[in-house]
Structure formats: C-alpha cells, structure tokens
Amino acid sequence: MTRAVIVDTLRLASGKGKPGGALSGTHPVELLAHVLRTLVERNGVDAALVDDVIGGCVSQIGEQAVNIARTALLSAGFPESVPATTVDRQCGSSQQAAHFAAQGVIAGAYDIVIAAGVESMSRIPLGSSTIGQDAFGPGIAARYSESLVNQGISAELIAAKWKFDREALDTYSAESHRRAAEAAAAGLFDREIIPIDVTDATGETVPHAVDETVRASTTAEGLSGLKSSFFSDKYADRFPEAQWAITPGNSSPLTDGASGVLIMSEEMASKLGLTPRARFHSFSVAGDDPVFMLTAPIPATKKILAKSGLSIDDLDAYEVNEAFAPVPLAWAHEFGADPAKLNPRGGAIALGHALGSSGTRLLGTLVNHLEATGGRYGLQTMCEGGGLANATIIERI
C-alpha cells in the first residue's frame, strides 16, 4: 500500500484577530500565499509537480471567498495548471484538508499535495457569513427546538457535566501559556514558524515571527478576575447547572494565521531526494450531540484507537485543540490521559485559534514535538462546530 508522508510543515506566527493585530493589515490571500510559496521553495519542490492544494477556511465570505486556496496559489506564483479547493469542516477544516490530501495519496490519486489553512478573524469577523441569515432552516429548528446554542454555552455545559470549576479552567489555561512561552524561549517553534513582512502601526514594514497571543506572565490568579463571557438572564434560566465559568482567559483568542503541510507518497519523496518526517497512520471523523457540540473529540478518539490498534498509552503526545479549557480537560478525563503529554507546547488558549488554519498548525506542532522528544506516535483531534471532530494519528519516521 502507498504510504502518505509529511515532508515539511510550517506556519505563520499568530496575530491577534482584531484591528491592530500583527497580521490584520495583510490580506488573507497573501497570508496563505506566503505559506504555500515558502513550503515549496524551502524544500526545492517544483510547484508544477503539486497535484492539488486543499485549503481549510471557515468564513468563506468577502476576502476569503471564491476558493481562497486557488487564489492564494496563484498569488504565490504557482503555475496556473495547479488546482485547488477550499473545504469547511468548521474549526477542523485544515485537519480535514490533511485527511483528504493523505487519503488521496494512499489511494493513488496524488503524488504530491499540499494541505493548508487560513483565517483572518480581524478582517472577516467570526459569524460574518451568517449575519442576517438563518443558517439552519426549519428542519433543524423542529428537531432541536431552542436547544442549539453558541459554542461558549456548549463549553459551559461541558464544564458543568464534567464538574470542572473556575479554578480548574483557569489553572489549565495559565499552564497553556506557560508551556507555550517556555517552548518559544527554547526555540522549539523556530522550525515551524516562518517570518512574514507586515506593516506596523507606524507604517513601517517589519518581520512578524513571534506568536502575538502568548502571554508569558499569565497566572491562574490573574485569570480569576475576568468576567464570564456568556452569562445572560436568558441562558441562566435555561441552564441552571451552568457555573458561568467561561471567560476570555480560558477560551482561545480570536486569531489571524495560516499554515501548511507538504504531503506526498513515500516513493515521490525518495525520487525527489526528500526525507519524510512522519507518516499518516490512521484517520477518523465523528459526530456528536450538537448542543454539547465540543465533545466529539471523545468519540473520534475512540474510533481512531479502535482502527489503529493502538491504546492511549502507546501515544507519545496528543494535541487536543483548546477551543475552550473544558474541551481538552473532558477529553483527558475520559481517556485517563497523561497531562504531561497533552498539548505539551501549549495549545490554542495561548497560541491562538485561527479557525481554518488550526488543523495544519496543530499537525505541524505535533510533528516537531515528536522529533524533538524522540516520540513515535502522536494524536491530533479537535472539536468542530455542529458537534463534529477529526482525529489523526501520525508516526514519526
């Protein structure tokens, strides 16, 4: 069977997803174009050999509309013959892109493919694509009545169900910042982050190469003073079990970013004289209760462990996206997972969650961590809007 391997992975340093953020002055097409261009140039790959570019993006509207993966590759100078498509599996969009890419290689449809993702939350605010629209329709309304809620309320429901109090959430979040800051200071992100020239507030062109969302000084005590993000009388009456413990401090920040992974067959890598860094071992995707919404990493992980024949103890690291602190905490509780292996370089609470980019960002961080520590197997999983989750197991080569 053809094996799909990861040759390289890279990303932009995160930018705060608001006006004035480091990447907010750069068009999202250019963010992704810079990643695509650098990915082939850094590995000496002729862009004409790329069979497809599969990009993830959630808010496909405005500057991120009309198939941003295609417009980005054209902006990057790829030959017009290279095709592209943009997919939306909500927060897992670029993880799904990596699945499609690797599965295409395994099936023999591709020799070389790039999986990537982008999101500019400063320029295309979250929810832009549904403003003034009914995104669900009457069938969903009839099935779930008024049960469907936003992700923040879902996070509150998870915290209540698994009995995570405010202190536990803030302690976990502070540790995410500590780990990310420590990893950055040790140069552990240097291989995955590529600098990009941006325009700063004074109009000068400067390189951006440090995650803007990491706050090294974060403490649980400091986070404890933040107010609830989602409390309202309307929800308080409907969900009396909620503790209203979700705040900006234990949630992932709005973020701008782009990332990409160069994937090919093992045979093609050998032909081009490239050294694979990891191979795709197993895949899964699962659905779960759309009211709790963010719990699907649990069934997705059960599914992939059964498919792979591996146990949780066989895994050397797990990247579980930190959309909100209760998500990885609930996941870890269900599997008895080792806290030291969970998001060992910090997670999205610190590093940011640029929606469409996060899947390939997590994948790259996982590859680099396995290499640095000599680990063999790594798991990546992330919650996605609508009660979905992807899971991926990779094996370091």
* Residues with catalytic roles: 91, 353, 383
Specify whether the CB–CB gap between 362 and 354 falls below 8 A: no
> First vs last Cα of the chain: how many Å apart?
17
What is d(CA 299, CA 204) in angstroms, rounded to the nearest whole number? 48
Structure tokens at 392: 């991926």
Residues present in the chain in total: 397
CB-hemisphere CA count at 13 Å for 187?
A: 1
Beta bridge partners of 378: 317, 394
Backbone angles phi, psi at 57, to 5 degrees: -160, 135
Distances (CA, A) of 121 to 87, 193, 202: 17, 19, 22
Q: Which stretches within 60-199 are classed as H helix?
A: 68-75, 93-107, 138-144, 151-161, 166-185
Q: Is residue 256 classed as helix, strand or coil in its secondary structure?
A: strand
What is d(CA 248, CA 252) in angstroms, rounded to the nearest whole number? 7
Q: What angle do CA 176, 96, 309 make, to 5 degrees?
A: 80
Distances (CA, A) of 55 to 31, 82, 83, 99: 12, 13, 11, 11
The alpha carbon dihedral of 200, 121, 155, 153 has a sign of positive
Structure tokens at 363: 């994948």
What is d(CA 296, CA 154) in angstroms, rounded to the nearest whole number? 12
What is the distance of C-alpha 105 from the center of its chain? 22
